[in-house]
A and B are shown apart, each in its own frame.
Chain A
């Protein structure tokens, strides 16, 4: 390794590198903290943090790990929420089937966007994904009003799980632990995906696409899979969100949802695994706290986000990892 390292090399983690080990430990610490979270902050906020953290992790599969800028994640989340809610509302099926439908919903939209735009780079992908998500918003708003109830969200009856044992989801604490277990499993699956050779190929594409192509990898196929995985987990988050809200609401599909997940992810650190999780927790906690004092939430979040981009582009967790890396460097090289 050359003496002159750039920040990218410091934050990109390698198999069994100190970064990967640190991330792995951070993941278990955060999941352990998740067990006691509803006793520290309010239960609905804790549930929301878990759901959006899963969403942000799924989003970061594309942005942080593959380097694809997506502004259409509201589409995946919303498709998941509506698919999950509609099978319950019209089909009367149980919660597990609803979550499967939500994953399918997110995946279908991801495949659609992937087919249209997988070969487009950078800004182009951002624009196309944003446009497709806006299309879904307007579709749900008026032409498909008959099925989605348009601006009145599609409301669900109180739900409960009967398999493997009875869980009453209208109880806030049971709902939290139900969501927590699913999110924790999804986080572990994502960790597994990213530690696989496929996961390393994703990082390779982010760092140097041409070199990975020269190594004989099928870039288009790998990128497409990354989009599909992202859609799958976002859809799952959408299904959980519909259960948590007791409704599939049109605001989920609004472009602001895509913007918020971008901000949460960047706040935590895009070039890390657990960054989006941390970013989401901080973001939602702050939003909850600040909105008690002011109506001007958007102004503050906009200004703070601009400051973040200018001063700490690696985010909270990314900056911490960078600092640790700087301290380690003399002995590591």
Chain B
């Protein structure tokens, strides 16, 4: 890891990693300033440096005067930020976040994600997020890794995953079978799905897609059906994981984890 032996250089690696657990881990009667400073010291920072770093990372996550209050009085959002701050206090190179948006309202969720994104992109810290909210991962992360029992199973870039695929998703209001029939006769490959049907394109380029769209339009006109939706297909992470879970069958827990690796670290 970062060119160090995991077993031999344990101490060194612990300095390079910041960990934010999913569960509550804040003593209710300590203040955030004191708690984060103490953990900074436990990471090997000298006392004064730990105090400065604590103030700095708490400000970074958006805690100001509140940091002197006992943490028992904090809202969930503030507690999540303290948890992030304590993972950042010793300036790690890799941040491991376990469900960072747990218990947050939608606004808090967006802010936390923005913070996570910035931490990764601008500060040169790689972030490994574990989450069951795949939509969030899709928005935040650059690649997906699936880790099972300590071994890396898959690693795929999010962009590659969610890019366009040669399909047209169609939804019509009216006689669906008639429309499909017309299209099949015109040699388009069509499969039904829950809401409508999907037209498989023989190639991914724009011209083919445009011809297919025209064909769908004409078929709808012919069948007297209304066209509700016509869009190019995109993979979504949850769809991917659904199919993955089928493939793996008995796979235990398929952790959805995501790494962002800024160039200089990679």
Chain A partners chain B: no
Q: Which residues of B contact A (CB under 8 A)?
A: none
Q: Which residues of A contact B (CB under 8 A)?
A: none
